[in-house]
């Protein structure tokens, strides 16, 4: 048994810690994060490293916001920017302009130009109403076109998760760069924000606890603990005569168990066979589990006489 423990220490098994970043509603953001490790110390150091990098990034973003520093993406020359709407603003003519227009109206060579100036400047309220109406029509057309183009973008991306946060992020990015509301610009905004981990990938994740099947007990079998494995020996019963009165010390790690293939493993054997998701679950739900693992690992590293 001593040789087996030493071999397990010398050849550590690589494990994976996988987690999915989510927003405050539990919806996935970006892809799953995978950390490969062989010991719990390696896992803790890698988590600490990533947390430090995240804090640095947030600090830099806060600094840029305070100082008004913005980093704009290179959009390329093929993007179409949003054109400014035409404004209709009537104005009052001066006495000099009125005199000039009235003089030009009787001149055949200048009459057409004078009429255009007069209609443009002096229709008054009807012209203002016409200007507002035309502006409203322009805005309605822009909104209708944006909706049609957005629907075309959504239909061409079946993996796009429909929610207000995603569309607000895409539209906000397009407004920032004054992009026209066309499908190609919607696609550019979506691809850019998705690569930066801003886009929400799906609905909230519901954690499901793994179900460990119960091992049926047999009254005609005896449990024998040997090398971290609880084996069932048929035909042997435990009686007062074949047991010793002396108390048997509990082996270190016997309180760490894992059942697989009808066999209940304990100690290092249980940790070796335990999937990373089950290991993660126990770390999160059992405050003593990490301490037990540390003690077992420390005992296994002690030199054998």
Mean pLDDT of 95-121: 80
- 171: alpha, beta or left? (left if phi > 0; alpha if psi -120 to 50): alpha
Q: How many CB atoms lie within 10 A of CB 178?
A: 11
* pLDDT at position 238: 45
Q: How far is CA 69 from CA 38, 109, 179, in A?
A: 42, 57, 21
More confident residue, 303 or 196: 196
Sheet strands side by side (includes 229-234): 221-226, 229-234, 263-266, 257-260
**What is the predicted pLDDT for the residue at 243?**
46
pLDDT at 190: 93
More confident residue, 91 or 233: 91
Mean pLDDT of 33-39: 89
User: Quick check: 268 and 254 in contact, CB under 8 A?
Assistant: no
The pLDDT, as a whole number, for residue 131 is 67
Q: pLDDT band at residue 213, thresholds of 50, 70 and 90?
A: low
What does DSSP assign to residue 225?
A: E
Structure tokens at 45: 């150091």
The packing angle between helices 276-285 and 289-301, to 10°, is 120
Segment 108-129 mean pLDDT: 69
Spell out the residues 6+ positions from residue 202 whose beta carbon is closer than 8 angstroms to its own: 27, 28, 161
Percent of the chain with pLDDT over 70: 74
Query: Strand, helix or coil at 23?
Result: coil
pLDDT digits (tens, 9 = 90+) for 10-23: 677 888 888 888 88
| CA dist., res. 259 & res. 284, Å (int) | 20
Tell me: the pLDDT tens digits for 48-73?
A: 998 898 898 888 888 888 888 887 78
Among 43, 8, 25, smallest CA distance to 280 is for: 43
**Which of 4-8, 88-92, 126-130, 229-233 holds the top average pLDDT?**
88-92
Mean pLDDT of 213-221: 53
Domain residue ranges of the chain, discontinuous segments joined by +: 13-67, 95-195
With a cut of 90, say whether residue 186 has pLDDT above it.
Answer: yes
Mean local confidence (pLDDT), 90-94: 76
DSSP 128-155: HHHHHHHHHHHHHHHHHHHHHHHHHHHH
Cα-based torsion angle of the residue sequence 223, 225, 231, 236 in order, rounded to the nearest 10 degrees? -40
Question: pLDDT per residue over 260-283, tens digit each?
Answer: 877 888 888 888 888 888 888 888
């Amino acid at each position: 048994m001593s040789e087996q423990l030493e071999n397990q220490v010398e050849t550590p098994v690589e494990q994976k810690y996988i987690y999915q970043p989510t927003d405050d509603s539990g919806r996935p953001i970006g892809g799953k994060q995978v950390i490969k490790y062989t010991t719990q110390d390696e896992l803790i150091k890698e988590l600490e490293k990533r947390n430090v990098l995240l804090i640095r990034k947030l600090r830099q973003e806060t600094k840029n916001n305070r100082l008004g520093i913005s980093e704009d993406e290179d959009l390329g020359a093929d993007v179409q920017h949003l054109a400014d709407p035409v404004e209709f603003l009537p104005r009052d003519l001066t006495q000099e302009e009125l005199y000039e227009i009235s003089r030009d109206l009787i001149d055949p060579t200048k009459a057409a130009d004078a009429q255009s100036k007069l209609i443009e400047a002096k229709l008054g309220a009807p012209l203002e109403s016409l200007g507002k109406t035309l502006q409203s029509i322009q805005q309605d057309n822009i909104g209708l076109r944006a909706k049609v183009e957005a629907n075309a973008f959504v239909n061409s991306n079946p993996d796009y998760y429909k929610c207000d946060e995603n569309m607000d992020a895409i539209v906000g990015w397009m407004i920032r760069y004054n992009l026209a509301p066309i499908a190609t610009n919607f696609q550019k905004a979506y691809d850019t924000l998705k690569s930066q981990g801003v886009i929400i990938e799906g609905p909230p994740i519901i954690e499901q606890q793994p179900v460990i099947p119960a091992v049926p007990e047999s009254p005609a079998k005896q449990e024998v603990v040997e090398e971290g494995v609880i084996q069932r020996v048929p035909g042997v019963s435990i009686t007062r005569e074949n047991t010793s009165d002396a108390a048997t010390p509990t082996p270190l790690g016997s309180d760490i168990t894992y059942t697989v293939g009808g066999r209940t493993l304990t100690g290092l054997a249980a940790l070796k066979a335990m999937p990373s998701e089950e290991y993660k679950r126990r770390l999160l739900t059992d405050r003593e589990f990490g301490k037990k693992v540390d003690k077992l690992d420390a005992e296994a590293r002690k030199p054998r006489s």
